[in-house]
Amino acid sequence: MNYFQQYKKGVIKIKKINFKSGIPLYIQIKDYIREKIETGELKTADKIPSEELLCEKFDVSKITVIRALRDLVNEGIILRKQGKGSFVKEPNYKEDLSKFANFKNIHTLSHGNSKHKILEWHIIKPSKEIRNRMKLTKEDKVLEIVRLRYFKSEPVAFERTYIPENLIPSLEEKRELFEKKIVYDIFKTVPQISPESSQIFIKPLLADKFYAKTFKIAVGNPLLQWDRITFSKGKKVIEFSMFCTRGDKCNYYIEFP
């Protein structure tokens, strides 16, 4: 029996809205529902009370309740099903961007529930775009690793990683690790690779037919594209990766000391 079911049975009471606090009423309702989700009193797939019930119990207008629920939907906390109501949404995949870009702290990323599937692993002559990004010549070759990242059995990221030919021998025996770990985690196990700094470029895009098929989503769904370049001493490029992540399944944040 979830929190609101207990309320309906009279086991507990919902706190009242503070009309004199100066905090907008819809924000108070939104924060209250979010708190119950964060504390576990409302769990994934639990149904949120109807708009009518929320209006009655909080003594507010329907417009206020609708705005609170709409904000929670936009924040990816709940989802609305046509004709069925609102439900607590399963948490999205989360990563701290400051650690995503910092190889020294990569082990603290929340990727315990994620895994990778290697789609391609081969040595290629890179395209002109990749050569320019990695500062390579036409004669240079790279190891191309194409992976699909899953979170709770759902594909959430498509990754292409390029590593210069001179580093390939150190990575061939590490192939199995690429199914379980993030690139920087693997670099830590190779003494010959010494990352010093990285740059990340991010831009939004909409899913085309390829990404729609890859992620099993509709064409036009929101995605984020990430380009990451990793340097060793002397600004020598030791890795270039291109990621495409689902906008509806991944949350990114920055945590400061």
Domain boundary among 72, 88, 104: 88
Confidence of residue 80 (pLDDT cuts 50, 70, 90): confident
- Domains identified in the chain, total number: 2
Domain boundary among 88, 119, 141: 88
Do 126 and 227 belong together in one domain?
yes
Do 75 and 163 belong together in one domain?
no
Do 11 and 43 belong together in one domain?
yes
pLDDT in tens, 183-192: 888 888 888 7
pLDDT in tens, 13-48: 456 678 877 888 888 898 888 888 888 888 888 888
Do 76 and 174 belong together in one domain?
no
Q: Which residue has the tokens 């939004």?
A: 204
Cα 72 from Cα 89, distance rounded (Å): 10
Do 204 and 217 belong together in one domain?
yes
Average pLDDT over residues 85-96: 72
User: What's the CATH number where 185 sits?
Assistant: 3.40.1410.10
Confidence of residue 93 (pLDDT cuts 50, 70, 90): low
Q: Quick one: pLDDT at residue 107?
A: 39
Q: Quick one: pLDDT at residue 154?
A: 86
Confidence of residue 109 (pLDDT cuts 50, 70, 90): very low
Average pLDDT over residues 149-163: 89
Q: Quick one: pLDDT at residue 240?
A: 95
Do 156 and 37 belong together in one domain?
no
Average pLDDT over residues 210-230: 92
Average pLDDT over residues 134-153: 91
Do 217 and 157 belong together in one domain?
yes
Return the HEC string of the chain: CCHHHHHHCCCCCCCCCCCCCCCCHHHHHHHHHHHHHHCCCCCCCCEECCHHHHHHHHCCCHHHHHHHHHHHHHCCCEEEECCCEEEECCCCEEEEHHHHCCHHHHHHCCCCCEEEEEEEEEEECCCHHHHHHHCCCCCCCEEEEEEEEEECCEEEEEEEEEEEHHHHHHHHCCHHHHHCCCHHHHHCCCCCCCCCEEEEEEEEEECCHHHHHHHCCCCCCEEEEEEEEEECHHHCEEEEEEEEEECCCEEEECCCC
Q: Quick one: pLDDT at residue 253?
A: 66
Do 123 and 226 belong together in one domain?
yes
Enclosing domain of residue 131: 93-253
Do 58 and 103 belong together in one domain?
no
Do 19 and 55 belong together in one domain?
yes
pLDDT above 70 coverage of the chain, percent: 82
User: What's the CATH number where 73 sits?
Assistant: 1.10.10.10
Tell whether the model's pLDDT for residue 92 goes beyond 70: no
pLDDT in tens, 174-214: 888 888 888 888 888 888 788 888 888 889 899 999 999 99
